[in-house]
Amino acid sequence: MRSVLGLWAIIAVVCVGYMALWPVPVTPKAWDAPENPGYTGIFAPNARLQRLEFLDLAGRSGPEDVAIGPDGMVYVATHDGEIMRLPQSGGKAQVFAQTGGRPLGIEFGPDGMLYVADAYRGLVSVDPDGGVVLLADHAAGVPILYADDVDVGVDGMVYFTDASTRFGAEASGGTLPASVLDLIEHSDNGRVLKYDPITRKTTVFADGLSFPNGVAVGPDGAVYVVETGDYAVWRFPADGGPGQVILANLPGFPDNINKGPDGTFWVGLVSPRNAIMDKLSDSPALRRAVLRLPASMKPAPTRYGFVLRMDAQGKVLETLQDPSGSYALTTGAVTAQDGSVFVSSLTETRLGVLRP
């Protein structure tokens, strides 16, 4: 009996030592997560996303972002580095380009080029024939480790996010593992970059953000940035002056932001907030210990579909939801001229579309 108790004591000591001392790659910072409003009020659950139709992606997965091309076709960034092209009405999806990395945000510029935030490579452009050119992989002497989203102003300036300067998407084993590390650390190391296609120079537009994710340029030139780590949306003036939070304390992890033809914006919530991680926001040691848990015990995204539409001042106008999670991990949405809303996802194998 004593030997059995001794064995359990040794096991307990080893487990405690492992949870306390095993090295992990993060140095979490204490912060104060705001109280989660939950899915109440304007965020109250509905089933509007359950009316989605689906477009086939020819076996590809992870339709992270969508753009409507000058030719009226739908362009979709996918997990394996391919950008697919297909008619808005559906039909056969074809490979338009292969970036050689993991394309996330995509957007057409006034020059007809498709600009791509590639998480593994940086900022790239794709010409109308599918030719890929790397435009930027460093800014201010710092490597671009996690290019996440991109938009282009009417003046041709390209804004894109470098979500984490600490945890590279490729080096961390993918975009999701890197984002988990950065969100757990919460060290406000992300930045928004600006690329000038005339001078071919990349500068820092804004920094000190907690996993800046989506970016969109408004009709007046203001730059809207989704800060995933703080559940917020920022608005920065076009001149690069100080920004302000216009939508705070969202009930989920916000991802992409896309402007619509009516001047409003779609924002995707990829997953509801995690109550445990919110509780541990002011406890760096416990957040570090979370990374030492077995994979089956670590917090994971909840399957739930959710996109919201807001105006230029950050007022939420409506939400589209799927509580069943049949189309989940929604990253954002794009409105076509006919009113069709294409809904993107981190992991799905089809592209959702809500017809008017």
Distance CA 340, CA 74 (A): 11
Place of tokens 């996690």: 146
Average pLDDT over residues 338-344: 98
Residue range 260-283, pLDDT digits in tens: 999 999 999 999 999 999 999 999
Percent of the chain's residues with pLDDT above 70: 94
- Cβ proximity of 183 and 191 under 8 Å: no
- Cβ proximity of 92 and 86 under 8 Å: yes
Average pLDDT over residues 331-352: 98
Is 117's pLDDT higher than 70? yes
Secondary structure of the chain: what % helix, strand, coil (to 5)?
15, 40, 45
Let me know the angle formed at the C-alpha of 151 by 91 and 185, rounded to the nearest 5 degrees. 105
Residue 295 has what pLDDT?
83
Residue 300 has what pLDDT?
87
Average pLDDT over residues 314-332: 98
Higher pLDDT, 79 or 296: 79
Residue 24 has what pLDDT?
75
Average pLDDT over residues 330-352: 98
Is 118's pLDDT higher than 70? yes
Least trusted range by pLDDT, from 9-18, 239-248, 324-333: 9-18
Token pair listed for 313: 């001042």
Q: Output the CA torsion sign for 72, 63, 169, 240.
A: positive
Is 109's pLDDT higher than 90? yes
Token pair listed for 111: 């020059």
Per-residue pLDDT band at 297 (split at 50, 70, 90):
confident
- Cβ proximity of 191 and 204 under 8 Å: yes
Question: Which among 156, 148, 60, 143 is positioned nearest to 108, based on CA atoms?
Answer: 156
Q: How many CA atoms lie within 13 A of 215 on its CB side?
A: 37
Residue 22 has what pLDDT?
53
Amino acid at 321: Q
- Cβ proximity of 112 and 120 under 8 Å: no
Average pLDDT over all residues of the chain: 94
pTM recorded for the entire structure: 0.93
Amino acid at 347: T
Is 195's pLDDT higher than 50? yes
Is 348's pLDDT higher than 50? yes
Domain CATH for 280: 2.120.10.30
Token pair listed for 219: 């009709």
Residue 240 has what pLDDT?
83
Helices (H), the chain: 2-21, 175-185, 275-279, 284-290
DSSP β-ladder status, 212-217 and 201-209: unpaired
Total residues found in the chain within this entry = 356
Instruction: Please report which helix (H) or strand (E) contains residue 305, including its range.
Output: strand 305-310
Is 311's pLDDT higher than 50? yes
Distance CA 327, CA 346 (A): 10
Per-residue burial over 94-120, b if 16 or more Cβ lie within 10 Å, else e, is eebbebebbbbbbbbbeeebbbbbbbb
Token pair listed for 333: 């949405």
Distance CA 115, CA 120 (A): 15
| Number of domains present in the structure of the chain | 1
Is 175's pLDDT higher than 90? yes
Is 303's pLDDT higher than 70? yes
The 3-state DSSP class for residue 297 equals helix
Average pLDDT over residues 197-203: 98
Is 15's pLDDT higher than 90? no
The 3-state DSSP class for residue 32 equals coil
Distance CA 216, CA 223 (A): 6
Residue range 20-50, pLDDT digits in tens: 445 678 999 999 999 999 999 999 999 999 9
Distance CA 120, CA 143 (A): 11
Per-residue pLDDT band at 1 (split at 50, 70, 90):
low
Neighbouring-strand partners of residue 115: 107, 125
- Residue 64, domain extent: 2-354
> Residue 262 class from Cβ within 10 Å (0-12 exposed, 13-18 middle, 19+ buried)?
exposed
Residue range 137-165, pLDDT digits in tens: 999 999 999 999 999 999 999 999 999 99
Neighbouring-strand partners of residue 132: 126
Percent of the chain's residues with pLDDT above 90: 89
Distance CA 192, CA 112 (A): 23
Amino acid at 179: S
